[in-house]
Chains A and B, each alone.
Chain A
Amino acid sequence: MPRKPVPRKQSPARAAGLRTPSWVGWLFVAPALGVYAVFVLRPIALTVQYSMYRWDGIGPSTWAGLGNYVRVFTDPDLFASILNAIKLIVFFSVIPVVLGLAIASTIRRIAASRLALVARTVLFLPQVIPLVAAGIAWSWLMSSTGLVNQLLAYVGLESVARAWLGDFSTALPAVGVIGAWVLLGLCTILLLSGLSKIDPALYEAARMDGAGPLREFVSITVPCLRQEIGVCVTVTVIAALASFDIVYVSTQGGPGNATMVPGLEIYYLAFSERQVGMASALAVVLMVLVILVALPIQWLTKDRSS
């Protein structure tokens, strides 16, 4: 059956026959698109190009094809740095999101009290502090004479005390703790704002049906926060994979290579080993890895109700 043309409402300009040509819209977008192309797309393209060469950053370069990529996956040190980044996801992502959910729903329950406001502010504070300052403060806290060890000694756990960032077995988790501390506030605030959108009637109805706090949490809070959780997980997983500043300030990748992550390795390769090609190849691999991890998260947490 042929469709009938639906009469469209026309703007006065159009009605008067002054039709705006379609390219005018592009004029408005052009400046932003230009900046994006020059400062985002061009560097990405250049990085991909550099990754195919052996180059010290100044002198002439030689074609290396995919040789640099082969080394990323065969050099045990480079590959180990990628594994470290994946381990950091537990600290940067899992802990902040899980803890953030628990804290956010607790704060929601006591929303009216002054304590909720204080908790909100305190938890968000790490977001305001520069990461470098956080890294320095934490390396003092976790040094052999730092507050962490003093507290351990105070409760009689002196035997556990150690230089947390300088010990092969604890350095990576210690860096992870700093990351968890920084990202917990972001997750909590995001989840809290999500919680405020949930209709209180839902909780009321659940309570009438005899649901306890746990049931409310599992059946209402988590499903309703699906999208917010998605954003938290995406942001924190990327922070884990692309981590640089916290590690650089607290351990510089040491001891040994126990806390080496790709971000730091790229920096060392480019600026201290002067292997710009290798650094670019690792950067491209990292970018692909981030996309590979972030896309499924986006897909899983997409709101399918509409």
Chain B
Amino acid sequence: MSRRTRWNGAALAVVMGGALAAGCGAPGGDAPRPEATGASLAAAPTCGTAPVTLNAYIETGFPLPKELSTEFSKQHPNVKWNIREDQFAVITQNAPRVLADDPPDLMRLPQVSELVKNNLLKNLDGYAKAFGWDSWPASQLEQMRMAPGGKTRGEGSLYAMGLNFSMTGVFYNKKLADKIGMSSPPATLAELDDALAKAKSAGITPIAQFNGGATGGLAFPLQDLMAAYGPSGPINEWIYQKPGATIDTPSNLQATRHLEKWIKAGYFWKDVNAVDYATMMSRFIKGEGLFMFNGDWESGNLDKQMPGDVGFFLMPPAQQGGKQAAMSAPLTYGISSRAKNADCAAYFLNWVATDPKAREIGVQVGGSHPMGPADAPMPEVSEGTVTASTLAAGAKIAEDNGSMDFIANATGAIYAKSWTPQLQKLVAGQQTPEALLKSVQSDYTSQVKGS
């Protein structure tokens, strides 16, 4: 070997070695140290009078947070906003890294378990006490509470807040309902079945739903059927990862079989496995379906697009007069554990729930129920609108204590990797209800254990 080649080889080895050496030592461990508890505060914090710039990371496509921030700056001129927007899927994937590297003061969040475990979110107990959030109906905050270490949801310290809370049920096209002689919403599951059958024989697609891509929309009717057949408590325990919880129960099996019956009867579009959420909305608005299982975040939109032509009802119970339940979740926002203006962000969250103007924006722009004390004044909504009926439905759910989180929120991956492919297989006749629940449960067990 000549001297020159040896030299070259040595230089190359140094460069490569440097590149490889950079990868030594176990990865991770740069997460923030745990915060013992939410520090108790002497007085409720404010945004003060000095200029403040709040950094917010929000979901694109929803005008509510921006309208709220504009109104807030109007009332508090010293507060400016620096807002970054992304799609929900992007936010979900970015959440841990953004909270760790570039901490925003306020951030729209997916479910919080994994974030709490890595100490990325501020414990809001101190604020809850100072602002009196603790005296609000407990169910409003339950989904954002986590036991120490992020193990179980639904109990323990508060780690996030909602801008409002939304709820799902069944929208229906009033013109098509007239055609099949449906004058009032079905009161029982049997009446709903009856309406579905009548629509089918009248040549109307009974259910407008999406089930394509990585988000299986049949999870909406499935969870509603689960609530019709059984109590919502065990479903919530499963979503909250309570030890020993299972989704594979006899009543859930009945619900899944009922959904299969609907599929086999041809109540969904033939191409439902290729329909995404946006396509479902545009087809429903065009009148290509009688019912649609969806949430009140569309109320304002439907009031605008099909004024007077849309009704809303909660999923009817299996027995007449039975208790009703619905997927209901806060529009979750968290504060980074490293946020610069945490106090001002908390003050903003409290303002959203208590300021009359903010509550009005919450209902009219967001279409959903505002957070806050049970006796807080409700903004006026015009009679006969979908928004009015979804707000009324919210009161019924509160009365029946029937709010549930979404079965897709049990773990970070359960929606895209378990519910969606399984429901798509059910539509294609490649999966049985029994095996579907068993398969989701086994994925769940391994995901909970693995996380």
A residues apposed to B, CB below 8 Å: 22-23, 26, 33-34, 37-38, 41-42, 45-46, 48-50, 53-61, 63, 143-144, 162-168, 251-257, 268, 271-276
CB contacts (< 8 Å) of A164 on chain B: these are 274
CA distance A63 to B27 in the complex (A): 10
- A144 pairs with B118, CB closer than 8 A: no
CA distance A144 to B288 in the complex (A): 14
Q: List 14 A-B contacts (CB under 8 A).
A: A41-B16, A48-B23, A49-B23, A56-B96, A56-B451, A59-B28, A59-B29, A162-B270, A165-B212, A167-B273, A254-B421, A254-B424, A272-B93, A274-B451
Known: A45-B22, A46-B23, A256-B425. 8 other contacts (CB 8 A): A46-B27, A58-B30, A59-B31, A60-B28, A163-B275, A165-B212, A166-B273, A255-B212
- B23 pairs with A45, CB closer than 8 A: yes
- B450 pairs with A57, CB closer than 8 A: no
Known contacts A41-B20, A254-B273, A268-B413; A168 and B428 CB within 8 A of each other? yes
B97 at the interface (CB under 8 A from A): yes
CB contacts (< 8 Å) of B447 on chain A: these are 273
| B392-425 Cβ-contact flags toward A at 8 Å (1 or 0) | 0000000000000000000011001100111011
Q: Of residues A41, A59, A162, which shows the largest number of chain B Cβ atoms within 10 Å of its Cβ? A: A59
CA distance A22 to B29 in the complex (A): 44
CA distance A274 to B269 in the complex (A): 34
Q: How far is the CB of A23 from chain B (nearest CB, A)?
A: 7
Closest 8 CB pairs of A and B: A166-B274, A163-B271, A163-B274, A144-B271, A166-B273, A41-B19, A255-B424, A271-B93
- A252 pairs with B26, CB closer than 8 A: no
Q: Of residues B27, B214, B275, which shows the largest number of chain A Cβ atoms within 10 Å of its Cβ? A: B27
CB contacts (< 8 Å) of B19 on chain A: these are 37-38, 41-42, 45
| B16-40 Cβ-contact flags toward A at 8 Å (1 or 0) | 1011101110111111000000000
CB contacts (< 8 Å) of A46 on chain B: these are 22-23, 27
Give which listed residue, B26, B29, B212, B421, contacts A257 with CB less than 8 A: B421
- B413 pairs with A37, CB closer than 8 A: no
CA distance A99 to B15 in the complex (A): 44
Q: In this complex, what residue of B is CB-closest to A165?
A: B274
B117 at the interface (CB under 8 A from A): yes
CA distance A48 to B97 in the complex (A): 21
Q: How far is the CB of B109 from chain A (nearest CB, A)?
A: 15
| B172-215 Cβ-contact flags toward A at 8 Å (1 or 0) | 00000000000000000000000000000000000000001110
User: Count the A-B residue pairs with Cβ separation under 8 angstroms: how many?
Assistant: 149
- B118 pairs with A58, CB closer than 8 A: yes
CB contacts (< 8 Å) of A254 on chain B: these are 212-214, 273, 420-421, 424
Interface size range of chain B in the complex: 35 or more
B430 at the interface (CB under 8 A from A): yes
Q: How far is the CB of A100 from chain B (nearest CB, A)?
A: 30
CB contacts (< 8 Å) of B30 on chain A: these are 58
- B23 pairs with A58, CB closer than 8 A: no
CB contacts (< 8 Å) of B213 on chain A: these are 251-252, 254
B358 at the interface (CB under 8 A from A): no
Q: How far is the CB of A278 from chain B (nearest CB, A)?
A: 9
Q: Of residues A56, A59, A255, A271, which shows the largest number of chain B Cβ atoms within 10 Å of its Cβ? A: A255
B249-272 contacts to A (CB < 8 Å): 269-272
- A60 pairs with B428, CB closer than 8 A: no
Q: In this complex, what residue of B is CB-closest to A57?
A: B96
- B273 pairs with A61, CB closer than 8 A: no
B100 at the interface (CB under 8 A from A): yes
Q: Which of the segments B4-12, B219-227, B369-377 contacts the partner chain?
A: B4-12
- B421 pairs with A272, CB closer than 8 A: no
- B114 pairs with A274, CB closer than 8 A: yes
- A42 pairs with B274, CB closer than 8 A: no
B121 at the interface (CB under 8 A from A): no
CA distance A271 to B413 in the complex (A): 9
Q: How far is the CB of A41 from chain B (nearest CB, A)?
A: 4
- B275 pairs with A166, CB closer than 8 A: yes
Give which listed residue, B93, B100, B428, contacts A255 with CB less than 8 A: B428
- B27 pairs with A166, CB closer than 8 A: no
- B18 pairs with A37, CB closer than 8 A: yes
- A143 pairs with B271, CB closer than 8 A: yes
- B22 pairs with A273, CB closer than 8 A: no
CB contacts (< 8 Å) of B16 on chain A: these are 37, 41
Known contacts A50-B27, A57-B96, A57-B97; A273 and B417 CB within 8 A of each other? yes
CB contacts (< 8 Å) of B114 on chain A: these are 56, 274
